[in-house]
Amino acid sequence: MFLFHEFQQNKFILTDKKGEVISSFDQPGDAPSSYGNTACAATFVGDSIVVMGQQKVVIYDLNFDFIKSHQKPYAGKGMLYSGYNHLQNTYIDDEINLVAFTGGPQHPAATNQEAYYNHFNTFDLISLDSGGFVPITPLHPKSRYKQGKAFNFIRPLFQVNEDKIHFIFASDTLFHTHDLSKAENGLTVEGIPFDDFILNPGYPFGGSEDYDTPKPRKGEVKSYFKVDEKDLILYQSGLSLENTPLRGTTSREEWNKINARLNPLKFLVREAEGEYSKVGLCTTNFTPTHVDGKNRLWARQHVELLDQEPEFYTIYQVALVPQ
């Protein structure tokens, strides 16, 4: 089965593998059985669907009939992310739990305060039975976010495999592994050998990000997937200030084409611990979006590149093939 979310209508659609609709959910955000006005993430857990809203996690059966919900015990703040794979399953003591990125740590400090980074938790571990939201995965001592500067919009791209969380921060060059089975020293890091990656230097504690001064376009990890014991990393290196095309000199469409050519989507494959492939350029026909529970990699068609809108939305099952 496939679970789709239509963002503008805030509607879920469950289909079979042929694309036939099985059930759907489009109740108002203030309905008692709703997850709210925004679905931040969703996943399958056995024969149920779990949706993470801004303030609670809701469990439905496959007909979207309400089963139960768990309220988040702290107020949401910072960026609200939707459309990312920010809710994934793991097993702790033979019990299914959820690893979630909720948009920021549980600590109330602001992003320009040192306490924010000292108390940062990358993920919450959510028990489907008790509903507890346990903060896990602090920043590693080698993290660039622990070096005395402030940053906005710290977001991980992650995948959970059994009791291990593998992740990369979108604007970072470290590959992280958090072994949940280890009470101590469970978080390890290694450097990713990008060909080039422009880093945002951050700003002083107590200050604010300078959005007015022109500066280089930072590098960004766009996607991360673990496939067949290999790690697929999709990223853009960024653009130096002198190579960034000026806004207003061309149409928006032409400006986007120039940027895509100058700052293309690339990939790296982590073959094993500390071993990486050469950098390659990604295809422009589709973009990988998800790895399922059977280790299959799925991708979406780039509908925007077609001359006319197709009658059907196409998704692909793709494979990572050495060349």
Say how far apart CA 233 and CA 276 lie, in whole Å.
10
Residue 195 has pLDDT above 80, yes or no: yes
Residue 29 domain flag:
yes
Tens of pLDDT, residues 78-118: 788 998 999 999 988 778 899 999 988 899 999 999 999 99
Residue 46 domain flag:
yes
Tens of pLDDT, residues 108-162: 999 999 999 999 999 999 999 888 899 999 999 999 999 999 999 999 999 999 8
Query: Residue 9's domain spans which residues?
Result: 1-50+60-68
User: 66 pLDDT band (50/70/90 cuts)?
Assistant: very high
Residue 41 domain flag:
yes
Residue 11 domain flag:
yes
**Element (DSSP H or E) covering residue 252:** helix 252-262
Tens of pLDDT, residues 259-271: 889 999 999 999 9
| DSSP notation for 109-127 | --TTSHHHHHT--SEEEEE
Q: So what's the pLDDT on residue 308?
A: 86
Q: So what's the pLDDT on residue 154?
A: 95
Residue 28 domain flag:
yes
3-state secondary structure of 304: helix
Residue 91 near residue 97 (C-beta atoms within 8 A): yes
* Sequence-distant (≥ 6) Cβ neighbours of residue 84 within 8 angstroms: 41, 101, 155, 157
Residue 9 domain flag:
yes
65, 81, 245, 268, 305 from 256: Cα distances, Å: 43, 23, 10, 24, 13
Say how far apart CA 59 and CA 100 lie, in whole Å.
15
Residue 176 near residue 188 (C-beta atoms within 8 A): yes
Residue 87 domain flag:
no
Residue 224 domain flag:
no
User: How confident is the model over 24-36, as a mean pLDDT?
Assistant: 93
User: 185 pLDDT band (50/70/90 cuts)?
Assistant: confident
3-state secondary structure of 226: strand
Residue 268 near residue 277 (C-beta atoms within 8 A): yes
Average pLDDT value for the chain: 92
Q: Based on the structure, what is the number of domains in the chain?
A: 1
Residue 134 near residue 124 (C-beta atoms within 8 A): yes
pTM comes to 0.93
